[in-house]
Structure 1
Amino acid sequence: MPNSSTASPPSPARTARLALAAAGVTVVLWASAFVSIRSAGAAYSPGALALGRLLAGSLVLGAVLLVRREGLPPRAAWRGIAVSGLLWFGVYMVVLNWGEQEVDAGTAAMVVNIGPILIALLGAKVLGEALPPRLLAGMAVSFAGAVAVGLSMSAGSGGGHASVLGVLLCLLAAVAYAGGVVAQKPALAHGSALQVTTFGCLVGTVGCLPFAGQLVAEAGRAPLSATLNMVYLGVFPTALAFTTWAYALARTTAGRMGATTYAVPALVVLLAWVFLGELPGLLTLGGGALCLAGVAVSRSRPRTRAGVRSREVEQPAPAPVQD
């Protein structure tokens, strides 16, 4: 007689809904980081802000990992964890903070949003993922929207400013982001979302330890609001959002997940309107609408005849252990 206490695995439809919900949590929290970075970045240098954010994230993730008793990830996951930790949690956060001091926010948004395109290309080359027409079309629409939002933000800052160094730093951030995502995907076939995120965050923290002196010095004179915003960045847009990201990434392709992040510029526009009182112009609103429309297209699937499987349907990764 079968053991009735054994939980049956979730249906594919429920798994897809959970993954979509997790991706939604991620993009909302990443968009919310825009407001916090403005406050924290005014008091903390790029490396110190990255280290403080990662320390807060590591403490929260480590505590949750201990409570859940998940332990160390399998050996097969460590290569992806190390690479994604160095590139995404380490290099990306530092150079993006630095780059945004050298260019206006609009230029930074346009350059960094090359990242999802690089994720799709790297995913196809390294992971053998398909590039369905709807994904490519949706990303093209979303990127056009991101450019429109970026141009409107640049114009709103008095014409914007951009140094060659700043553009190069933002481009490096996009490359590090894409490389980190593609490296993380295989690790999720062996470790849980929590394990991969926790130890990736720890790797990034270790990589940023050279900025410890700056962090200590700047924390002593930073206003409380800036420090609280840095802690918020570590707890929510890092610890929680990177974990929900990993959960969703384990259940879809890197290309589709990258395309989903094009919803972030639209949400940033909304949050800046609500919390900062920055009334968006028509170009900004139009760009945000394009971003959301592109995400919808990239995640849609073509209708097929009954019993015929679409070639564009994403292939889920094997379920990660202890997840």
Structure 2
Amino acid sequence: MTNPFSRAVPRPEVLAILAAAVTVVLWASAFVSIRSAGEAYSPGALALGRLLSGTVVIGLIWALRREGLPPRAAWPGIAVAGVLWFGLYMVALNWGEQLVDAGTAALVVNVGPLLMALLGGWLLKEGLPRRLLAGMAVSFAGAAIVGLSMSGGGDASLLGVALCLVAALAYASGVVAQKPALRYASPLQVTTFGCAIGAAVCLPFAGQLLDEAAHAPLPATLNMVYLGVFPTALAFTTWAYALARTTAGKMGATTYAVPAIVVLMSWLALDEVPGWLTLLGGVFCLAGVAVSRSRPRRSRDTATTTAPEADAVSAEQPARPAP
């Protein structure tokens, strides 16, 4: 007997959703580690240490799997993503969050997914579905509420705001550049060499890293290594896997679940009880993600289409390129 759910939710789509979920959870966990490591490491040194750790781990996995070098057609996207997302984004974000309060950082950095949807719609011809835009608007409002409610009331410098904006632009541009590369190379190849290029971009901070590592407490260094292994090597790979199977806009909208998960993790791991405003913001974030990734309801005529007819219709649609 045929499973009635197998036709409605294909297995590759389920795997892509699970990969996106792993990414979101690990990126949310990174906030706690960045806060700890950032007390002992400067922004550039922290970014370089994180990228070097990630490159070593994912490089070993790439070597063991013997996937080889990415095809020539994939290198432009890998290079741009490596410079902008792995390199510039991490340095700018680490630096910016030292100069602005959490509320300002949340408002500015969370412009990134909106820019990603706009750039994806324009450059990648993904379009701008109404549900995507509506969901992102709801999630952005939720992220702003979470950030403002958890803000310590710090001062926002113009340099800090500018750095957070640079991080948002680098993030969005890097993802849009990465998407075409995944048509030719595997997620592991794209992540491995993107991470290595990002580490190379951050090599000017090598002197700071060596000096600070000699005096940093062990927990800070371990948190830096954790950032490289899990939120970078693993999470960026699962991100690339999911991105290859959906649009840049939808993946950007999915990251709006991060603030809500950060609130939950802080509650469970750090015993930081969130206020009602913070919880409300988290609900908005998750609701927006649900709306942005939802599908329009089928019309009555479509719903009554027989299975063979449905297969014929789907066969006419162009297949999404996979790595």
TM-score by length of 2: 0.92
Separation (CA, whole Å) in 2 of partners of 1:295 and 1:125: 21
Which residue number corresponds to residue 123 of structure 2?
Answer: 126
Q: Distance in 1 between matches of 2:260 and 2:183?
A: 31
Equivalent in the alignment of 1:7? none
The residue correspondences of 1:21-60 to structure 2 (distance < 5 A) are 21-60=18-57
How far the C-alpha of 1:171 sits from its partner, in A, is 0.6
Q: CA RMSD in A?
A: 1.8
Q: Who is 1:177 aligned against?
A: 171
Amino acid at match of 1:32: S
Which residue matches 2:3? Answer: none
Q: Which residue of structure 2 aligns with residue 71 of structure 1?
A: 68
Alpha-carbon distance in structure 1 between the residues aligned to 2:210 and 2:224: 13
1:253–1:316 Cα contact (<8 Å) kept: no
**SS of aligned partner of 1:102:** coil
- The equivalent of 2:145 in structure 1 is 148
In structure 2, the partner of 1:192 is 186
The answer for unaligned runs of 5 or more in structure 1 is 1-9
The secondary structure found in structure 2 opposite 1:278 is coil
Does residue 1:168 correspond to 2:162, yes or no?
yes
**Does the 8 Å CA contact 1:84/1:181 hold for their aligned counterparts?**
yes
DSSP 3-state at the match of 1:302: coil
| Contact preservation (8 Å) 1:115, 1:177 | yes
C-alpha separation in 2, matches of 1:169 and 1:74: 34
2:154 and 2:24 mapped to 1: Cα distance?
26
Contact between 2:23 and 2:235, CA under 8 Å: does it hold in 1?
Answer: yes
- 3-state DSSP of counterpart to 2:10: helix
1:219 alignment partner, SS class: helix
Contact 2:92 2:167 in 1 (8 A): yes
* Conserved? CA contact 1:252–1:315, under 8 Å: no
Residue identity (%): 73
1:267 to 261, 265, 270: 261
Q: Which residue of 2 aligns with 1:292?
A: 286
Aligned to 1:250: 244
Q: Answer with 126-135 or 218-227: which moved more.
A: 126-135
- Structure 1 match to 2:320: 317
Judged with a 3 Å threshold, the aligned counterparts in structure 2 of structure 1 residues 231 and 316 are, in CA distance, closer, same or farther, namely farther
Count the aligned residue pairs: 306
Q: Tell me the secondary structure at the aligned position of residue 150 of structure 2.
A: helix
Instruction: Give the letter aligned to residue 56 of structure 2.
Output: L
C-alpha separation in 2, matches of 1:67 and 1:303: 45
Per-residue CA deviation, residues 98-143 of structure 1 (Å, 9 max, x unaligned), is: 0001001222122100000000000011101111111111001000
Indicate conservation of the 8 Å contact 2:115/2:172, yes or no. Answer: yes
Contact preservation (8 Å) 1:51, 1:205: yes
Q: Distance in 2 between matches of 1:240 and 1:255?
A: 21
CA drift at 1:315: 7.6
Using the TM superposition, give the Cα deviation of residue 190 of structure 1 relative to its aligned residue in structure 2, in angstroms.
0.3
TM-score under structure 1 length normalisation? 0.92
> 1:279 corresponds to which letter in structure 2?
V
Give the equivalent residue in structure 2 for 1:6: none
**Match for residue 210 of structure 2 among 193, 208, 216:** 216
Question: Cα offset for 1:316?
Answer: 6.2
Distance in 1, matches of 2:120 and 2:139, equals: 19
What runs of 5+ residues in structure 2 fail to find an aligned partner?
1-5
Pairing of 1:76-155 with structure 2 (within 5 A):
76-154=73-151
Is contact 2:102–2:148 with CA below 8 Å preserved after alignment?
no
User: Is the 8 Å Cα contact of residues 250 and 316 (structure 1) preserved in structure 2?
Assistant: no
User: Aligned to 2:98, what secondary structure does the other structure show?
Assistant: helix
Please tell me whether the aligned partners of residues 22 and 248 of structure 1 are also in contact (alpha carbons under 8 angstroms).
Answer: yes
CA spacing shift, 1:316–1:259, aligned 2, 3 Å? farther
Is the Cα contact below 8 Å between 1:197 and 1:242 reproduced in 2?
yes
- In the aligned structure 2, how far is the partner of 1:112 from the partner of 1:200? 21
State the distance in 1 between where 2:253 and 2:169 align.
15
Tell me which amino acid in the other structure corresponds to 1:243: T
Distance in 2 of aligned mates of 1:52 and 1:144: 33
How far did 1:160 drift?
2.7
